[in-house]
Structure 1
Amino acid sequence: MAVSAAAPNPLAPPWLHVPADANALAPGLWSRTVSREGGTLTVGGVAASELAERFGTPLYVIDEDDARSRAVEVRRAFDDAFAEVGTAAKVYYAGKAFLSVEVARWMDAAGLFIDVCSGGELAVALAAGVDPERLGFHGNNKSLAEIERAVEVGIGAIVIDSLQEIDRVAEAAARHGVRQSVRLRVNSGVHAHTHAFLATAHEDQKFGIGLEAAVDAVARIRSHDSLAFKGLHCHIGSQIFGADGFAESAARLLTLHRQLLEGGDVPELNLGGGFGIAYTSADDPAPIDQLARRIAETVAAGCEELDLPLPVVAFEPGRSIIGTAGLTLYTVGTTKDVPVAFQDDGESALRRYVSVDGGMSDNARPALYEADYSARIANRVSSVPPALVRVAGKHCESGDIVVDAEYLPGDVAPGDLLAVPATGAYCFALSSNYNYLGRPPVVAVRGGDARVIVRGETIDDLLARDAAYDPAAARPTASKERNQA
């Protein structure tokens, strides 16, 4: 249903254009099974209104077919691209984006390895039945207990992040009588985000070690009989739309890779992840198969120039697999129009605040990174012209914004159901109990069915963690005396 044209609101950011139809679902933002049927948004063959009625809101919804198919497509893209240049690829699903037992099983079934970065994430992957040999363990400060557990279960690779970790992992491996495979995380001096990248001599960050220190660090790794050096690891950033940053980083790493070959085998090169997705209509990430081909060609050309054998090349996508497969449903509670001055003479325009029943506890990315999202009314369509809205959460925090700027039909009202796309990555993973809100459930939808894959938290769950809470002594909020007053 098309809506009438509306003039742009001067408070809108330059990239946000007034839509011809404020009900339309922008391509690239939503999972592949999302559509409108009779005006109602559906995902996986299930109506958003039915999901809200059955499971409540806020609600994380994961399109299972979309997540599974993207995992297979990403793996095939890198497999095919590197097979064409004469080597193989390894694709690790970056569990930090979203990890649950069910999702770990999906990734495993799609043929992906899985990257974890804590003892908890390791426990989830093992609970899913993933072969420990197909796991990698990241982190800049792995505890002794985490290292011990990883070695004990036979993890496939540990990414060494500091000089101290070399000895810690070596000692744990020696205790268990195994030779533990490790990679060394290095900083290439390349930092990438979206289309741009910056190349410097050094990086000031907590992860990894500098290129200039890597030769000595690898020699130290090789000095331990209980360690097997597999290769270098580097991560250049996140939400990357192009291949130029990867190309520059690969070129720098291959120069170091050549030096390391003088002391022994270097069978692998891990270029990390960070491939981006679309969160708004202004985002235009390159297709993953194009990125894979460009990176493969760059690595092959670099190896040819340096007269190097092609290593196995590993990657760690997370957001690009699970991000677009997810959406979050909210219920609108209140709306208010706020006049905002935009000129020195005091001329103002209206910004409509649409408050929903979730917020920064279920999506911290806008508050943490000023991340932009989109939204649509999910339970109906409207012919009312669009209005500029800011979707706000319910937390006692002025920075609690879910969608900073969006055009929705001007009759958006309390009781409406809002859908925010592309929330599969880093929303559930970063969720909290701020203001004592329970974390929402996660529901997987597929073929007209919906099932809970992560249970939501109740007030009872939250109180159960409070050591001073005594259910038997709990009182109602108002005393009898007050009620009688």
Structure 2
Amino acid sequence: MEINERGHLQIGGCDTVDLATQYGTPLFVYDEAFIREQIRALHRTFRELGVNYEISYATKAFCTMAMCQLAHQEGLTLDVVSGGELYTALKAGVPAANIRFHGNNKTLAELEFGVASNVGIFVVDNFVELAALNDIGQRHGKTVQVLLRIAPGIEAHTHHYISTGQQDSKFGFDLESGQAERAMAAALDAESVRCIGLHCHIGSQIFDPSGHVAAAELMCELYAAGVRMGLPFSVLNLGGGFGIRYTQDDHPTPVADYLGAMVAAVRKEIDRYGVGMPSIWIEPGRSIVGAAGTTLYTVGSQKVIPDVRNFLAVDGGMTDNPRLALYDAEYVAVMANKMAERAEETWTIAGKCCESGDIVVRSAPLPEPQMGDILAVLATGAYNYSMVSHYNRIPHPAVVFVRDGKSRLVVERETWEDVVRLDRPLEAE
């Protein structure tokens, strides 16, 4: 953490207290230079490993037009999972050929939109989608390029809500039951579908590369089987899920070590099966933007229950960060305007929503708080803004990018008028 001469938390050369004054709170602040360096480090690692590769930014982690543009500028393709994310990427000027369309239940309207927009790759999740894409491709006179998403049966050591690669999952063609082989045969027979490879994603916030290595080994066996079937395979997409550090108890493996282990496993297995080395694709999201984001709040009321708990309320909560309620997530909080002061007590940071479970941070050692202080919750760059809601009709926060001492507003703060803009009153009787 960077502290300036005023004793304030500083991000990207900008005083966070000044940011809170200028833009209001709650406020998402992203360190733009940090994001760009995370991406460039991935490129360097792949180049050093000497393989053909693609890095696709998982927009579900944080999707705005500005973020889509930044990822495109840094040589990434975009992984989208809905018509809304696809529309955002296209509006940001990202070429459709550079977009990979995911999702376990793409609607027919979304599939039509994607094909009509010339999306580069569809990651097919099930037999219904495969048949629908073949039909849409025939009607549009197009050949639709796809990857088949496989559930390899690897269970990541993470929260069960964010484990996706195991057999009991809504995602992908099951490997163990033979669905994957049947899907490859169906793709081979589909005249308007060209299947160029396989995809898997075993979960999120994973610290140990062994799961990715095991998945890579299984996927290489299936990849070789597809090549022998006559499929025009050239891509093996091993997903993302690389963990980040939220608290001092988190010890994630550096992503470069992940990639080294994954590439080594693919090289070994592909050589054993005697087929050509595929292009290796990954889909990081959290590891690119998670640590780059900080949420600023203004401190409000307090409630001290002797020998039980100290509650400190802020002007946001589960409407801008539902991750504690969803995943039991943990965060670090600091008092942005009192960084030079010693922590006096431990506080539970509560939100303003009408829910007992509206807690942002369970345990935060802080200096003596006062109404109007600026609280910063760190590492909120992934799955926070993406999950904002209008519960209690609370407007969505603003988002700023900071770099070299300058700030740029990339998402305006909603107003109460915005919240009711689509409402329609009852007609007079």
TM over 0.5: yes
CA contact (8 A) 2:270 2:277 kept: yes
Match of 2:347 among 358, 364, 389: 389
Q: 1:384 deviation in Å? A: 4.5
Deviates more, 1:318-327 or 1:296-305: 296-305
User: Partner of 1:295 in structure 2?
Assistant: 262
The answer to whether 1:132 aligns with 2:111 is no
Aligned partners of 2:151 and 2:200 also within 8 Å: yes
CA offsets, 1:388-439, max 9 Å, x none? 2111101110110101112112x12221110011111100000001001001
Alignment correspondent of 2:413: 456
Moved more, 260-269 or 54-63: 260-269
- The structure 2 residue matched to 1:354, chosen from 298, 308, 312, is 312
> Whose Rg is larger?
1
Q: Check conservation: 1:46, 1:450, Cα contact below 8 A.
A: yes
1:414 aligns with 2:380: no
Query: 1:91 pairs with 24, 34, 55, which one?
Result: 55
TM-aligned CA deviation for residue 307 of structure 1: 2.4
Length, aligned pairs only: 423
Q: Which amino acid in the other structure matches residue 392 of structure 1?
A: A
Aligned position for 2:37: 69
2: distance between equivalents of 1:385 and 1:120?
A: 43
**Structure 2 residues not aligned, in runs of 5+:** none
Question: 2:61 aligns to what SS in structure 1?
Answer: coil
Contact (CA 8 Å) 1:270, 1:315: kept in 2 or not? yes
Aligned position for 1:218: 184
RMSD over aligned CA atoms reads 2.0
Q: Is the contact between residue 367 and residue 400 of structure 1 (CA under 8 Å) also seen in structure 2?
A: yes
| CA contact 1:193–1:238 (8 Å) conserved in 2 | no
Q: Distance in 2 between matches of 1:469 and 1:71?
A: 50
Conservation of the 8 A alpha-carbon contact between 2:3 and 2:339: no
CA contact (8 A) 1:442 1:453 kept: yes
Which residue of the partner structure matches residue 237 of structure 1? Answer: 203
Q: Structure 1 355/70 Cα, relative in aligned 2: closer, same or farther at 3 Å?
A: same
Q: Which amino acid aligns with 2:239?
A: G
Q: Deviations over 1:320-344 (max 9, x none)?
A: 00111110000110122223xxxxx
User: Residues of 2 paired with 1:76 and 1:385: CA distance?
Assistant: 40
- Partners of 1:194 and 1:242 within 8 A in 2: no
Distance 1:162 1:437, change over 3 A: same
Secondary structure (helix, strand or coil) at the match of 1:289 reads helix
Please give the residue correspondences for 1:154-173 in structure 2 after superposition, counting only pairs within 5 Å: 154-173=118-137
1:158-307 mapped onto 2 (5 Å cutoff): 158-193=122-157, 203-211=167-175, 212-264=178-230, 265-307=232-274
Quote the offset at 1:316 in angstroms: 0.3
Amino acid at match of 1:289: A
**1:74 touches 1:321 (CA, 8 Å); kept in 2?**
no
- How far is the alpha carbon of 1:363 from its aligned partner? 0.4
The separation in 2 between residues aligned to 1:72 and 1:202, in whole angstroms, is 31
User: Shift of the alpha carbon at 1:350?
Assistant: 4.2
Distance 2:329 2:199 in 1: 27
Q: 1:379 to 1:285 in 2, by over 3 A?
A: same
Q: Which residue of 2 aligns with 1:401?
A: 359
Return closer, same or farther for 1:301/1:175 CA change in 2, 3 Å cut-off. Answer: same
User: What's the offset of the Cα at 1:469?
Assistant: 7.8
Does residue 1:42 correspond to 2:10, yes or no? yes
Which one-letter code corresponds to 1:360 in the other structure? Answer: M
Question: Aligned partners of 2:324 and 2:229: how far apart in 1?
Answer: 47
Shift of the 275–252 alpha-carbon distance from structure 1 to 2, 3 Å rule, reads: same
Residues 342-381 of structure 1 correspond to what in structure 2 (within 5 A)?
349-381=307-339
- The equivalent residue for 1:13 is none
In structure 2, distance between residues paired with 1:224 and 1:114: 26
Residue equivalent to 2:394: 437
What is the DSSP-based 3-state SS (H/G/I as helix, E as strand, rest coil) of the residue aligned with 1:388? strand
In 1, Cα distance between equivalents of 2:344 and 2:214: 44
Give, in whole Å, the separation in 2 of the partners of 1:47 and 1:96. 28
Which residue identity lines up with residue 65 of structure 1 in the other structure? A
Partner of 1:52: 20
Q: Is the 8 A contact 1:78 1:91 kept in 2?
A: no
Q: CA deviation at 1:147?
A: 0.6
Match of 1:465 among 418, 422, 427: 422
Deviation at 1:202, TM superposition (A): 5.9
Aligned residues with identical type, % of pairs: 42
Report the alpha carbon displacement of residue 69 of structure 1 after superposing the two structures with TM.
Answer: 1.7
Aligned residue type for 2:374 = L
- Structure 1: which 5+ residue stretches go unaligned? 1-24, 26-33, 340-348, 474-485
Whole-Å separation in 1 of the counterparts to 2:84 and 2:5: 40
1:147-191 Cα offsets, whole Å, 9 max, x none, are: 111111111100111101111001111122111110111111102
d(CA) in 2 for partners of 1:110 and 1:257? Answer: 29
- The Cα of 1:195 is off from its aligned counterpart by 12
- 1:338 and 2:305 aligned: yes
* 1:80 to partner: Cα distance: 2.8
Aligned-pair CA distance for 1:380: 1.9
**Structure 2: which amino acid aligns with 1:224?**
A
Contact 2:156 2:211 in 1 (8 A): yes
Q: Of residues 102, 110, 113 in structure 1, which corresponds to 2:74?
A: 110
State the 1:385 CA deviation.
4.5
Q: 1:201 to 1:43 in 2, by over 3 A?
A: closer
State the alpha-carbon separation in 2 of the partners of residues 383 and 427 from structure 1: 28
Distance 1:215 1:384, change over 3 A: closer
TM-score, structure 2 as length reference:
0.95
